[in-house]
Amino acid sequence: MTMILNRSSCAYLLPTPTVLFMFQTEQNNVFKKLAVSLVASAAIVSTAAQAHFQMIYTPELLRDRGGEVTLKMPFTHPAESGHVMAVDAPLAFYKVLKGKKTDLLDTIKPSKWTSAENTGDSYEATVKLRGLGDHVFVMEPAPYLEESEDIYIQQITKNIVNVGSLPTDWNEELGLKAEIVPLTKPYAIYEGGNFVGVVKGGGEPVPFAEIEVEYMNYEPDMENDRFSDKGNMTPPADAFITMTIFADANGTFNFSIPKAGQWGFAALGVGSDTEYKGKELSQDAVIWVQAHPVK
């Protein structure tokens, strides 16, 4: 028996028990398929919410005087103390001060980093800050194969440590393949203030670049090479773990920082290199900034 489901027939025909059973069975199958689909979609969203961030971490980006600093460099998910990914040794590591570039690749040594999910391979370097001004650290990591997406990721990362509150190089473009050029001092932002930057790829602004933003919610324990066990805040929803913003037509973006601490900005796939070892390469630009509490 065929049941015609339209408004006119439904108004005058009552289904027989057999037809009702067939309809309910089919309806149940549809709901089961829908439930499986929703579970799969939720898993994808959950995975996507874990943004990759290359760190160059030291606790204070604004220092009264120079001296020795240690920089920790795990490739991880800092907002939720997520998975630490094993990456080959960095291809380049250097700093720029008052326009002078100093190669620091030989200061890097392998280490381990522990998160709430695992202990993975990492890198660190101990360097001396000599002279007042902006010490602009740049790390070019080896591309990392993200097997779940079958693409390589390479996050060219900048972090700027200032000595003595003397501004020198913080807003200088370095000509990186993927770069965020700050228009706000990255180390001198009030909690509640704005960070403004320009996304560039191969020296050119990238219109409408996609930028992921994460808060360093789990403080790094420098002595024990791990994230702290407790976060500084509880996000109101998963959507706040990794926030996504877009640059404007000129590649410029603006983000209001709601909480003191360090924040990472990753402009995705903006670099001039798009392929590595025969696979797609997402060459990202990363910069870290620090907001300070208003006392």
Instruction: Give 171's Cβ-side CA count (13 Å radius).
Output: 10
Partners of 208 in the β-ladder: none
Residue indicated by tokens 């874990």: 50
For residues 40 and 90, state if they share a domain.
no
For residues 276 and 157, state if they share a domain.
yes
CB proximity list for 87: less than 8 A, separation 6 or greater: 75, 121, 141, 142, 144
119-147 burial string, b = 16+ CB within 10 Å, else e? ebbbbbbebebeebbbbbbbbbbebbbee
> Measured between alpha carbons, how far is residue 248 from residues 177, 196, 214 in Å?
20, 12, 20
Angle, CA 91 vertex, CA 159 and CA 173 arms, to 5°:
40
Does 184 reside within a domain? yes
Does 50 reside within a domain? no
Domain count, the chain: 2
Q: What pLDDT does 50 receive?
A: 55
Alpha carbons 202 and 177: distance in angstroms, whole number: 5
For residues 39 and 111, state if they share a domain.
no
For residues 38 and 131, state if they share a domain.
no
> Measured between alpha carbons, how far is residue 149 from residues 117, 157, 282 in Å?
20, 22, 11
Does 2 reside within a domain? no
For residues 39 and 162, state if they share a domain.
no
Q: What is the DSSP string of 59-107?
A: S-SEESS-EEEEEE--EE-GGGT-PPPP-PPPSEEEEEETTEEEE-GGG
To which H or E segment does residue 34 belong? helix 17-48
Q: What string of pLDDT tens digits covers the 295 residues of the chain?
A: 333 333 333 333 334 444 333 434 444 443 333 333 333 333 333 334 458 999 999 999 999 999 999 999 999 999 999 999 999 999 999 999 999 999 999 999 999 999 999 999 999 999 999 999 999 999 999 999 999 999 999 999 999 999 999 999 999 999 999 999 999 999 999 999 999 999 999 999 999 999 999 999 999 999 999 999 999 999 999 999 999 999 999 999 999 999 999 999 999 999 999 999 999 999 999 999 999 999 8
247-269 burial string, b = 16+ CB within 10 Å, else e? beeebbbebebeebbbbbbbbbb
Alpha carbons 52 and 157: distance in angstroms, whole number: 12
Alpha carbons 119 and 12: distance in angstroms, whole number: 67
For residues 107 and 212, state if they share a domain.
yes
**Per-residue tokens: 147:** 């097997």
For residues 201 and 248, state if they share a domain.
yes
Does 188 reside within a domain? yes
| Whole-structure pTM value | 0.83
Does 270 reside within a domain? yes
Alpha carbons 64 and 66: distance in angstroms, whole number: 7
For residues 138 and 165, state if they share a domain.
yes
Domain limits for position 37: 7-45
For residues 277 and 206, state if they share a domain.
yes
Does 1 reside within a domain? no
Give SS3 for 22: helix
Q: Among candidates 188, 196, 211, which has minimal Cα distance to 292?
A: 188
For residues 80 and 143, state if they share a domain.
yes
Category of 104 on φ-ψ map: left (φ > 0), alpha (ψ -120 to 50) or beta: alpha
Give SS3 for 158: strand
For residues 104 and 203, state if they share a domain.
yes
Q: What pLDDT does 51 receive?
A: 80
For residues 32 and 62, state if they share a domain.
no
Q: What pLDDT does 19 receive?
A: 39
